Chains A and B, each alone.
Chain A
Amino acid sequence: MLIDIENIEKLYELGATHVHAIRGISLSIENNEYLSIMGPSGSGKSTLMNILGCLDTPTKGTYLFRGEAIQDMNDDQLAAIRNREIGFVFQTFNLLPRANALHNVELPLVYDGTPARERKQRAVEALEAVGLADRAHHRPSEMSGGERQRVAIARALVNNPSLILADEPTGNLDSKTGEEIMKIFEKIHGQGNTIILVTHEKYIAAYSQRAIHLLDGKIEREERIEDSQKT
């Protein structure tokens, strides 16, 4: 088992108001699963994603990632887990604007102390895997949205993480490009990676194997997506 979440809650205190973003969620995710998390805005989708991505810790409950208890970790320990185990793909790409594609992809390796030469080699390989080897020395501003998202995917892959976490990865792309991106995710999944996809688009969720629908901080329902449903 890759992820085992037991009855987690998340409570935000914003001055006098309390926001109960997650009100008790339990969830298990196996290796090489392809899961999508769906739900309207305010359903706790982002909060759950932040917790799954080890960007945040739950207020209550336990979160085991490959057997490690995440809920008690401090900032730097979380950073180490993110660096080693998780690759992020964001809706807005989140690339460093002044760095070229190669350097953007290298970034996770910078923080685990990989020597410069090896870093470069692995970054080139990751860019090749998303079909962008020829754009290695271009900056994000010189690339199309689809290319930027492919750079972000290469960055997410470069560390060989246990989990790829994609937050609305096609939200800023036209449908044709979005489809290309989803094809890449499919390919990555086929190579044995675990993927969690956060989306509110049904046809995007359809690429996954299992969809979880959130409402008001709880799992409303869960559905298995059969191959026949896939577009």
Chain B
Amino acid sequence: MNFGENIGTGFSNLRANKLRSALTILAIIIGVMAIMGLWSILQGLQNNVEQQLAILGSNTFQVQKTPALQMGRLDRKYRNRKNVTVEHALAIRDKASAVKLVGPEDWQFGVTVKYEDKKTNPNVQLAGGTPEFAENNGYFVAEGRFITNNDVDRARRVIILGKDVVKKVFPYGNPLGKWVRVDADRYEVVGLLEEQGAIFGESQDNQVVIPLTTFQNVYGKNRSINITVQAWSADDMERAIEQTVAILRVERKVPPGEPNDFEIWSSKTFIDTFNNIARIIKMAAIGIVSIALIVAGIGIMNIMLVSIRERTREIGIRKAVGAKRRDILSQFLTEAVILCAAGGIIGIALGIGVAELLAATTPLRAAIPIVPAFLALLFSSAVGLFFGIYPATKAARLDPIESLRYE
């Protein structure tokens, strides 16, 4: 077996038929490019998610009636659950030793904030909260003050504005002390939030906060609330969750052995969920690309058969001067593998290039996926090897006399 000779002939044949070689491996290039690009963007997104969610804090978690991420319609199982209430929050605050802060909160999405003739789009997020809300959610007050216990006790009509809302409704002048309308109701502005930035490209500043009691007076008490719970430290998280679950099961009278009738999620569960989705997308992409590569392999086999027919005489010459079957076999296998590996390498380079280009021009980020790149190279070479076997065997079995006579 002569590796140097095989590689040399392989490349010289590739060069001699540039266009044909390029067209043959186009399917491999496109397939590998697609998966590398997708992978790179997904990986970038995953890194991004983990970074951004880390901001939420590794020591807070949420209690909700329904799962945070729910695809499709809400299941009846979830809808029929008891609501999560302020009483539950109070029970956790009183009884859980690993817990530092408990913040009951409720959200209304898509409200309009209005001052005189200026108003926002109807896409502002309105939160009803308690003083704990700010720390639990990592909000800081830039000017004025946050909600106080007094506001909550008296259900005062006060409001804290996020940065986007301020920009929109108070382009000039100080909003503090002004009365704004949220949909039909009036509130006095007592505080302004610091800019939060965006998570997944969605602004966290298009928000306003009012006392939870005020919220319930306006939007009704018969709603399930969220409870944001902060453990003393990240090390206490597990214990805090255990205690919370135990307390809630008692409060909500869940019989022993039954599953929880409420959901707990932390940034970790969110990351896990996201990673799961990413994994599903990746698997689907691998499936599709595998099919593409198999189709590409059939193309390679076809071209190899043509090439062997064209080079029958060459095979005859080689056999006449002493090439054995395995010499011819390995020569053509090497050629198929070189062809496919070249396609794989070009595809990897293009895929990463496309991902980097997307990363440079959009908010998406890219990560260079090293292991998948190796696998892509390996897999495309394997395609060459597998689909090269039949043509190469055919070449190896050619009769030297017939081959030498071939025109």
A residues near B (Cβ < 8 Å) are 50, 53, 55-56, 75-76, 79-80, 82-84, 88, 90, 94-99, 107-108, 110-113, 116, 155
Contact = CB atoms under 8 A, between A and B. Distances in A.
A130 B4 CA distance: 27
Interface in B160-211: none
Interface string B292-332: 00000000000000000000011011111111111100000
Nearest to B2: A110
A82 B327 CA distance: 14
B322 A55 contact: no
B247 interface: no
Contacts, number: 60
Contacts of A112: 322
Contacts of A110: 2, 5
Contacts of A56: 401
19 contacts: A53-B320, A55-B320, A55-B400, A75-B324, A79-B319, A79-B322, A82-B321, A97-B314, A99-B12, A107-B317, A107-B318, A107-B321, A108-B322, A110-B5, A111-B2, A111-B321, A111-B324, A112-B322, A155-B321
B68 interface: no
A62 B317 CA distance: 26
Nearest to B314: A96
Given A94-B404, A107-B317, 20 more contacts: A53-B320, A55-B400, A79-B319, A79-B322, A82-B320, A83-B321, A83-B322, A84-B322, A88-B321, A94-B317, A95-B317, A97-B314, A98-B12, A99-B12, A108-B322, A111-B2, A111-B322, A111-B323, A112-B322, A116-B4
Contacts of A155: 321
Contact of A50 (B13, B318, B327, B401): B401
Contacts of B316: 94
Contacts of B322: 79-80, 82-84, 108, 111-112
Interface residues of B, number: 23
B16 interface: yes
A98 to B, nearest CB: 5
Contacts of A111: 2, 318, 321-324, 327
B323 A79 contact: yes
A111 B4 CA distance: 12
B128 to A, nearest CB: 79
Interface in B1-30: 2, 4-5, 12-13, 16
B401 A88 contact: no
Contacts of B16: 98
A231 B30 CA distance: 67
Lowest 3 A-B CB distances belong to which pairs?
A83-B322, A111-B322, A108-B321
B11 to A, nearest CB: 11
Nearest to A83: B322
B12 A94 contact: no
B404 to A, nearest CB: 6
Nearest to B5: A110
A79 B324 contact: yes
Contacts of A53: 320
Contacts of A90: 404
